[in-house]
Chain A
Amino acid sequence: GDSVTQMEGPVTLSEEAFLTINCTYTATGYPSLFWYVQYPGEGLQLLLKATKADDKGSNKGFEATYRKETTSFHLEKGSVQVSDSAVYFCALTFKAAGNKLTFGGGTRVLVKP
């Protein structure tokens, strides 16, 4: 079946540091890929998405590129802030699967001032 693997956290870094969270997927075909973010005490919010190979999703300084050849969708941000402290989830879906999302395990990021 489909699966998403992302690096385990927690990831602890200082403000203005560079952040990378790795995400790879296993799926038959070409899914849509997502990054969701969950701030403390809140539900999930869509951060960015990409629907086909080589698409780049971006939002709030975060970027991720859909790499078909490596089945990856790594999340990056050049300069993190304390407010970026959250849990980040990589996910995939196939439209034919009725929009069922398959999530990775989540990566907790803690940014210290």
Chain B
Amino acid sequence: ETGVTQTPRHLVMGMTNKKSLKCEQHLGHNAMYWYKQSAKKPLELMFVYNFKEQTENNSVPSRFSPECPNSSHLFLHLHTLQPEDSALYLCASSQDEPGADTQYFGPGTRLTVL
């Protein structure tokens, strides 16, 4: 595997379910990100992790819970979601060092909340 991978690619869940999204990067980066992409809205940054430490939480509701066990893996745990949380969730990674400012994105997980 190369680049940034995300699983599952598609997920349908009810409002009472608990599920997790997984992201893995194979680029040796030390920063990882979760974004939400909704129809007709700009991309929204949700969380940022640098060296496994969360450095940004953009006022995301607590029903979204990120986890970064190491610099290669990032999870987004979901529970008691709402239909308006249906969106494409994108993971990205980058190298946090001088001169490196490009983020590399995974293909996303298309989430539908019923």
Q: How many A-B residue pairs have CB under 8 A?
A: 52
Counting chain A CB atoms within 10 Å of each CB, the highest count among B4, B31, B48, B103 belongs to B103
Q: A89-B43, A98-B48, A103-B43 are contacts. A43–B101 as well, Cβ < 8 Å? A: no
Bound: A105/B104 CA distance, A: 19
Contacts of B86 in A (CB 8 A): none
Inside 8 A of A44's CB, which chain B residues have their CB?
90, 92, 105
- Using a CB-CB cutoff of 8 Å, which residues 41-70 of chain A contact chain B? 41-46, 49, 51
Number of A residues contacting the other chain (C-beta, 8 Å)?
22
Please report whether the interface of chain B is mostly helix, strand, loop or mixed according to DSSP.
strand
Beyond A44-B90, A106-B42, is A99–B103 a contact (Cβ under 8 Å)? yes
Q: Which of A43, A101, A105 has the most CB of B within 10 A?
A: A43
Known: A32-B101, A34-B102, A93-B101. A104 touches B107 (CB 8 A): no
In the complex, what's the smallest C-beta–C-beta distance from A5 to chain B, in angstroms? 10
Q: Which 9 A-B pairs have the closest CB atoms?
A: A44-B105, A43-B105, A43-B107, A103-B43, A43-B108, A32-B101, A105-B42, A99-B94, A43-B106
